[in-house]
Structure 1
Amino acid sequence: MSLLSQIAFSGLRAAQTGLSTSGQNIANVNTPGFSRLNPVQVSLGGQGGLSAGGGVEVSSIRRLSNDFQNRQLWRATTEQSYFNGTQQYLTALEGLMSGEGSSISVGLDQFFAAVSEASSTPGSVALRQQVFSEARNLAQRFNGLGSNIDSQLSALQEQRQAMVGEMNGLSRNIAELNRQIVEAQSTGGDTSALRDHRESLVKDLSQYAGIRVNETPDGALTVAFDSGQPLVAGTSSAQLTVTRNAVGEQVMQLAFAGTGFPLDLNGLGGSLGGIQDVEFGQLRPQLQALRDMAGQMAQKINDTLATGFDLAGNPGQPLFTFNAASSTQLLSLSNLKPEELAFSDTAGESGNNKVLLELLDVRSQTITLNGSQVTLSDAYAGLLGQVASASRQNQADLKSATTVVQQAKAQRDSISAVSLDEEAVNLMTYQQAYQANMKVISTANELFDAMLAAF
């Protein structure tokens, strides 16, 4: 009877392990990144040809995780984060440039409308004051838009600095988990929770840049940028730093194992790659185009006024002052009085509007912007169109990337996530097995007692 009891006790232990495993899975049903566990049972052989066997043994508790699906999820997360990081700035830039209160097109319309109204009575001080006021408003629109784009650039650079800090922290934590997993695995310890935590950190890291991940035989992960620069190798992690170059642009350095080298920010992917591309693909080019537009417009208006005379018969003076070195004060008005606007092409003729008409004609003249000859209104419309088009395409790409992430997560969860329905069935199965093995033990005891009573 001892063999029967031994078999039943082994089944009892296996059922207990199964119940504990299901309990752990159910307890962590809402734990982010948790991979469900499954006990692996093997049958034990008996001794002799007539032996039914030696019972059952739980050889291991398997962590259900698929490396391929994890990598798919990490890559999809990188792609989604790229478009998500880009979209926040494109949306803000598009809304800013198209806003009624900041649109350069609206400012140009109002300025030239004031010029047109003054052309009928060029000597009117009130109408000259209106031209002066609209010129000031137009300059403020240029300055306001330039200031807002500059603020976006500053916010973007602060975000990049914060991302680098997050990446450094994640890399350090992954390296520390590598150490703990290697130590636990070498002594046969449980590494399931440590591996779950490490995979969760790798997923967080994949938000910031495209990464490659490989596991070494000792259980440690090696993590590197897609371009090959290392982030984590065993228990060592890289240190990223952000500095500025001579023109105020941010550059990144990567230090690993005592060696430092520059990191190319182009093609990084993830949030870092997204803000890099929006900075040099949209924000800086738009700011430069705005600067070029303001400078050429001011030059044309000033050159036109320089050919005329004011109400006192004095030669024309510039209306605008252009500051190419500033993003927030691109244009300012010269220290003029309305009477000093040179609208006449002949000294002493207050009713002469020849220069005023030439000033009105500036609206239809072309400037050079991004290699093309366009009018002032078309130039700004083109800039706004570029931003709107980029924003629409990015939104479509973000939508597609989000769908891919959802699919990748569903595939990962189909293997690794906890199903309460499945665990409920498992609990019932293990409970029935437990009770059945208890019945076998009870039967073995009854037979043993009966045998003793026979003597």
Structure 2
Amino acid sequence: MTISSALSNAMTGLRAAGRNSQTISANIANAMTPGYGVRSVALSSAQIGGVSIDGITRNVNPALLGDRGLAESAFNNASDRTNFLINYENALGTPDDPNSLSARIAEFETSLITATSRPDAPERLEGAVNSARDLASLITSASKNIQEARSEADRNIDFQVNQLNSALSGVKELNLQITKTLAVGGDTSALQDNRQALVDEISTIVSVRQIPRENGQIALYSTGGAILIDGGVAEIEFSAVNQVTPYMTQAGGMLSGLTINGYPVPTDSTRGALGGGSLGAQFEIRDELGVDAQTQLDAFARDLIERFQDPAVDPSLAIGDPGLFTDTGIAFDPLNEVGLSERLTVNAAVDERQGGEAWRLRDGINAVVQGDVGDSRLLQSLSTTLSTKRTPASGNFASGAFSAINLAATLTSQLGADRAQAEQSLTFSSTQLNELTQLVLAEGVDTDQELQRLLLVEQTYAANARMIEAADEMMQTILRL
């Protein structure tokens, strides 16, 4: 080996050591950076001697990253659904809650029994009216809670669609930049990191699969079959509303669905084109869970109103007259059940806050003057109708007849079962996401290993530096001859 070739080999070794040192430093500095792929320098023997730097290799496991993305989508979907059910259950109250639906019914029934024992006592009659008002207020509040959740879901859909379109445009732009960089022989690792971060962001919204394409590009397909990116990028559109009401549904045309490149796509939980992530969960809350919850609560409110507007319970009522509980002051109309729970009120005739008199609870809703203050027959009839078993005229309850408190227990138990199932699904998806995240981290930057590699690079650098020093000494010796 000539002195010049030795110098050349040592210089290539120094350059390789410098690039290795730079790469290792970047790995250590980005050990906690999301989406960062650990780098390594690809080296080979040069034909004329020494070491050739072939480029920077980004070491990632695409299959593992894809599984982690799907798990994150499932986790976000289950989390949003569970939160809705928990909030709704809290609005109705659990059986051990003194302010729950069942507790309010029991309190109302107790107040009627107390008033029956002393029908002449105004404070007992007023206590029964107050209990009825508290019951109606809880049902109304729960209904508003449902619509607020649906309205928030509609706003979240709008936000996530905009976020999704922005991220998809970013992936398309990075695809082009990666292709251009590869064409001139540049390093695309940083661009791929940025692209992976955007893909991870998309995965929180929509469940997607990533497919490699030529020239370093990728395609993204939703698990529901929608093409999001494959050369071109999909344009997703949605129109938000300010406030969702019980009457508003997507099936009725009052709420927006999704379009991809101008074509409507399904959004339901079973076959949604962009389901699986938080976006699918928001559609499910707005169009399925919220609608079902409202339907059940309206059916319960209907049962409560119909119990007390029966002339057989209160002889002062004619057919079609409102009873103790009303639909905003009027009798219940079977053709106007949607949103009934939000409109539930106590009859103004017995409510002092609305200008009524509590004694009508004893003498009849439509009584003009007070009757016998010792007559408790109507109060007994009101108390009895609460415990009377009747078959609900609407709603999705178990078959059979229910008393008012049994129907409330059925409503809350159904909700509790749905919430428990959702929490079980959330626990599974959370465990799966944690495990896959740990596997991704295990294949990421290992700072201990990187430091060990850095020590070897330092030794390599020192060896090549010593080679240059030896060559210099030989040249100096030759020049002195």
Residues 160 and 453 from structure 1, CA distance in 2 versus in 1: closer, same or farther, beyond 3 angstroms? Answer: same
For 1:203-282, what aligned pairs fall within 5 Å after superposition? 203-242=200-239, 245=250, 247=252, 250-256=255-261, 259-267=262-270, 268-282=275-289
User: Secondary structure of 2:256's match?
Assistant: strand
User: Secondary structure of 1:250's match?
Assistant: coil
Cα distance in 2, alignment partners of residues 376 and 281 from structure 1: 26
User: Secondary structure of 1:40's match?
Assistant: strand
Cα distance in 2, alignment partners of residues 432 and 211 from structure 1: 45
Q: Residues 304 and 359 of structure 1 are in contact (CA less than 8 Å); yes or no, is this contact kept in structure 2? A: no
Q: Residues 15 and 433 of structure 1 are in contact (CA less than 8 Å); yes or no, is this contact kept in structure 2? A: yes
Equivalent residue for 2:116? Answer: 119
Cα distance in 1, alignment partners of residues 193 and 259 from structure 2: 27
User: Secondary structure of 2:458's match?
Assistant: helix
Whether 1:168 aligns to 2:165 is: yes
Residues 226 and 250 from structure 1, CA distance in 2 versus in 1: closer, same or farther, beyond 3 angstroms? Answer: farther
Equivalent residue for 1:412? Answer: 440
Q: By how many angstroms is 1:199 displaced?
A: 0.6
Cα distance in 2, alignment partners of residues 4 and 317 from structure 1: 105
Whether 1:97 aligns to 2:92 is: yes
Runs of 4+ residues over 6 Å off in structure 1: none
Identity among equivalent pairs (%): 24
Whether 1:147 aligns to 2:153 is: no
Equivalent residue for 1:356? Answer: 379
Equivalent residue for 2:309? Answer: 302
Equivalent residue for 2:38? Answer: 36
Per-residue displacement from partner, 1:361-420 (whole Å, max 9, x unpaired)?
2122224141433221122112222222222332232222222222212222222x2222
Residues 413 and 349 from structure 1, CA distance in 2 versus in 1: closer, same or farther, beyond 3 angstroms? Answer: closer
Equivalent residue for 1:194? Answer: 191
Equivalent residue for 2:71? Answer: 76
Equivalent residue for 1:370? Answer: 396
Per-residue displacement from partner, 1:291-319 (whole Å, max 9, x unpaired)?
11111211111215664259xxxxx9722
Residues 184 and 72 from structure 1, CA distance in 2 versus in 1: closer, same or farther, beyond 3 angstroms? Answer: same
Q: Which has the higher strand share?
A: 1
User: 296-305 or 30-39: which moved more?
Assistant: 296-305
**Structure 2 portions without partners, runs of 5+:** 242-249, 329-336, 351-356
Whether 1:87 aligns to 2:82 is: yes
Equivalent residue for 1:50? Answer: none
TM-score (norm 2): 0.83
Q: Residues 205 and 278 of structure 2 are in contact (CA less than 8 Å); yes or no, is this contact kept in structure 1? A: yes
User: Secondary structure of 1:318's match?
Assistant: coil
Q: Residues 363 and 371 of structure 2 are in contact (CA less than 8 Å); yes or no, is this contact kept in structure 1? A: no
Amino acid at match of 2:413: G
Cα distance in 1, alignment partners of residues 463 and 193 from structure 2: 35
User: Secondary structure of 2:31's match?
Assistant: coil
For 1:324-403, what aligned pairs fall within 5 Å after superposition? 324-326=337-339, 328-336=342-350, 337-341=357-361, 343=363, 351-365=374-388, 366-368=390-392, 369-371=395-397, 372=399, 373-403=401-431
Q: Residues 163 and 208 of structure 1 are in contact (CA less than 8 Å); yes or no, is this contact kept in structure 2? A: yes
Residues 5 and 15 from structure 1, CA distance in 2 versus in 1: closer, same or farther, beyond 3 angstroms? Answer: same
Amino acid at match of 1:290: L
Equivalent residue for 1:131? Answer: 128
Q: By how many angstroms is 1:342 displaced?
A: 5.7
User: Secondary structure of 2:34's match?
Assistant: coil
Per-residue displacement from partner, 1:156-214 (whole Å, max 9, x unpaired)?
22222222221121112111111211221222222111110111111111111211221
Amino acid at match of 2:445: V
Q: By how many angstroms is 1:124 displaced?
A: 4.4
RMSD over equivalenced CA pairs, Å = 2.7
Per-residue displacement from partner, 1:325-351 (whole Å, max 9, x unpaired)?
54532234233423333658x996654
Residues 409 and 129 from structure 1, CA distance in 2 versus in 1: closer, same or farther, beyond 3 angstroms? Answer: closer
Amino acid at match of 1:418: V
Per-residue displacement from partner, 1:19-45 (whole Å, max 9, x unpaired)?
111122222223221111101111124
Q: Residues 206 and 280 of structure 2 are in contact (CA less than 8 Å); yes or no, is this contact kept in structure 1? A: yes
**Structure 1 portions without partners, runs of 5+:** 47-53, 311-315
Residues 95 and 249 from structure 1, CA distance in 2 versus in 1: closer, same or farther, beyond 3 angstroms? Answer: farther
Cα distance in 1, alignment partners of residues 112 and 35 from structure 2: 66
Residues 202 and 227 from structure 1, CA distance in 2 versus in 1: closer, same or farther, beyond 3 angstroms? Answer: same
Equivalent residue for 2:459? Answer: 432
Cα distance in 1, alignment partners of residues 99 and 166 from structure 2: 41
Amino acid at match of 2:143: G
Cα distance in 1, alignment partners of residues 206 and 66 from structure 2: 14
Residues 166 and 101 from structure 1, CA distance in 2 versus in 1: closer, same or farther, beyond 3 angstroms? Answer: farther
Amino acid at match of 2:111: A
User: 286-295 or 326-335: which moved more?
Assistant: 326-335
User: Secondary structure of 1:30's match?
Assistant: coil
Q: Residues 308 and 343 of structure 1 are in contact (CA less than 8 Å); yes or no, is this contact kept in structure 2? A: no
